[in-house]
Amino acid sequence: MALAGKRKAAMLLMGLDAESVAKLLEGLPAEDIQEIAVELAKIDTPGQRSTKQEARVAQEFCKLLRTSQEQGITVKSFLNEMLVNIVGKSKAEEIQGHIRSLTGKKDPFADIRSAGTDELVLALEGQHSQTIAVVLSELAPTKSQEVLPLLREDVRIKAVGKMVNLESLGGEVKRRMASMVSERLSRLGGQVFLERPTKQKETLRKLAIVLSGLEKELRDQLLDEVKKHDEDTAAMVRNLMITWEDITAIADRSLQEALRSVESKQLAVALYGAENEIVQKIRSNISERAAEALDEEASLMQEPLEKEILDAREGVIGPLRKANEEGTLRLLPR
């Protein structure tokens, strides 16, 4: 799909420092600057940013693109500084207000995700456990892992219990919850938005990732709270902590220990049609003799059924889940 000129401009400006952007846009009408600023805000909306598109635009305008995203300039700080440099503080605040009204309709919790950990903890203090559960479910798993241990013990236990059934909440309810937290963050100096209903499995997977990053004692305590509400859900959360896709995120030593208990035939079936990244990760963590046995099994194997592949993969991740429950599994940063 062809990109609009202002979207391309926004992508290019992302790679420049605020001072350079101010010079490039100096003299442009405030309306044009506002439209580019809106595009910048849209790019920062979860799920909207496309690195492939940005790369194509960068190639198209390679002479204008000075640096990459790895500079660490966030959209929020970049946008604020750019607007103030170009149109002054008063006008910048007016434009920011318009941007918030536009992006807030689609994602009223967008800035909650960019708030600092300490700010979030303070903003969630005194909030209903259901509200806290919604906020935690909308944060990146790593941010939730930072926030959760800082909440009061009774609060986090109740919040985790609520996280297993968030799909029953309507969008308007979540929007009101977002508004309450937004107002609190605004008073603390932050700015906020959110709203994105999730399917149950997606919610539970996010919860599983959050819990997997906690200390075993705290993790088990929170899982026990989930179990009080629904044993099946608790079991699902435990399983979703380690999935086939997580193999690349497992430390080599842990993976090596787990693979010792997996037979070559089962491993050959599990790797049938698997992503190259997972295949390479597994092959690099088995011995030369095991690799030869794996190749032999693969050469003799008939095309397996989908159920056979899924069962074989469950067999491979079984030892990994066991190690995770025992607290001995080592994970790379996700």
Higher pLDDT, 81 or 160: 160
Provide the pLDDT confidence category of residue 206 given band limits of 50, 70 and 90. Answer: confident
Higher pLDDT, 80 or 167: 167
How much of the chain exceeds pLDDT 90, in percent? 22
The CATH number given to 247-326 is 1.10.220.30
User: pLDDT tens digits for 260-290?
Assistant: 999 999 999 999 999 999 999 999 999 999 9
Lowest mean pLDDT of 10-14, 33-37, 68-72, 128-132, name the range: 68-72
Range with the largest mean pLDDT of 68-77, 102-111, 153-162: 153-162
CA distance 12 to 54: 8
Q: Is 69 left (phi over 0), alpha (psi -120 to 50) or beta?
A: alpha
Closest CA to 332 of 259, 271, 253: 253
Helix crossing, 153-162 with 129-138: angle to 10°?
A: 70
The CATH number given to 117-239 is 1.10.220.30
What pLDDT, on the 0 to 100 scale, is given for residue 281? 95
Range with the largest mean pLDDT of 105-114, 123-132, 164-173, 310-319: 310-319
Q: Where in the chain is the domain with CATH 1.10.220.30?
A: 117-239, 247-326
**Exposed/middle/buried for residue 94 (C-beta within 10 Å: 0-12, 13-18, 19+):** middle
Range with the largest mean pLDDT of 48-62, 69-83, 200-214, 230-244: 230-244
What pLDDT, on the 0 to 100 scale, is given for residue 172? 82
In this model, does residue 230 exceed pLDDT 50?
A: yes
Q: Buried b / exposed e across 223-256, counting CB within 10 Å, b at 16+?
A: bebbbeeeeebbebbbbbbbbbebbebbeeebbe
Higher pLDDT, 28 or 248: 248
Q: Is the dihedral of CA 81, 82, 84, 85 positive or negative?
A: positive
Only one residue has tokens 């985790």, namely 160
User: pLDDT tens digits for 80-137?
Assistant: 555 555 556 666 666 566 555 555 455 677 767 777 787 788 888 888 888 998 888 8
